[in-house]
């Protein structure tokens, strides 16, 4: 759908490489992912996943403390995710990530609405479920987040360590401390 034409395969492979670097969650690899995202955006500006990769990079800048302006990084991530959705409004991952970003800014209703839309579009997407669950967690609705985390982990038990960390947080926030310790381990 997105990767046709002369440069389609190159764009796809670069996005996969950028996602791998981003997933390592450190400043050095995130900066390499940024460079790759810039290349892909220049080569294939019609590919929404390129904007989503760059949005992830800006969001991780915020969490790693590698930005001079955390607020600008979150705002840029929102802008880039909205651009991806302008290209394809059916991207569940983009809706879920946008919801997560909105709740980071304490725009809880907007965030939860985006998370709900993401789950409607892809009810069995582990990343979609985790982002929606994190949005609920940020909004103080951890009890609702727990079954979403459980389903996401069941769908992808080898997912990111962060899935278990946020699941543990939801359990802790609801007073389920022993289960939280297990999730953290």
Q: What are phi and psi of 45, to 5 degrees?
A: -65, -10
When pLDDT is cut at 50, 70 and 90, the band that residue 165 belongs to is very high
pTM of the model: 0.94
93-107 pLDDT, tens digit per residue, is: 999 999 999 999 999
| Buried/exposed 144-158: b ≥16 CB within 10 Å, e otherwise | ebbebbebbbeeeee
Alpha-carbon dihedral angle through residues 161, 163, 164, 165, given to the nearest 10 degrees = 80
Q: DSSP string of 103-171?
A: HHTT-HHHHHHHHHHHHHH-TT-HHHHHHHHHHHHHTT-HHHHHHHHHHHHHH-TTS-HHHHHHHHHHH
Render pLDDT for 29-57 as a digit per residue (tens, 0 to 9). 999 999 999 999 999 999 999 999 999 99
User: Could you read off the pLDDT of 152-162 as tens digits, one per residue?
Assistant: 999 999 988 88
């Amino acid at each position: 759908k997105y990767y046709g034409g002369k440069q389609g395969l190159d764009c796809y492979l670069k996005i996969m490489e950028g996602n791998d670097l981003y997933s390592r969650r450190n400043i050095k690899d995130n900066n390499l992912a940024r460079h790759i995202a810039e290349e892909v955006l220049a080569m294939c500006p019609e590919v929404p996943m390129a904007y989503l990769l760059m949005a992830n990079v800006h969001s991780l800048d915020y969490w790693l403390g590698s930005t001079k302006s955390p607020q600008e990084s979150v705002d840029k991530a929102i802008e880039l995710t909205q651009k991806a959705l302008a290209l394809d409004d059916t991207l569940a991952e983009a809706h879920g990530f946008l919801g997560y970003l909105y709740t980071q800014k304490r725009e809880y209703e907007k965030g939860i609405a985006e998370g709900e839309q993401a789950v409607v579009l892809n009810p069995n997407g582990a990343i979609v479920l985790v982002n929606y669950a994190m949005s609920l967690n940020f909004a103080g609705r951890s009890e609702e987040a727990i079954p979403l985390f459980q389903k996401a982990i069941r769908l992808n038990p080898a997912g990111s360590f962060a899935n278990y960390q946020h699941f543990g947080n939801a359990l802790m926030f609801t007073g389920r401390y022993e289960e939280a310790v297990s999730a953290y381990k």
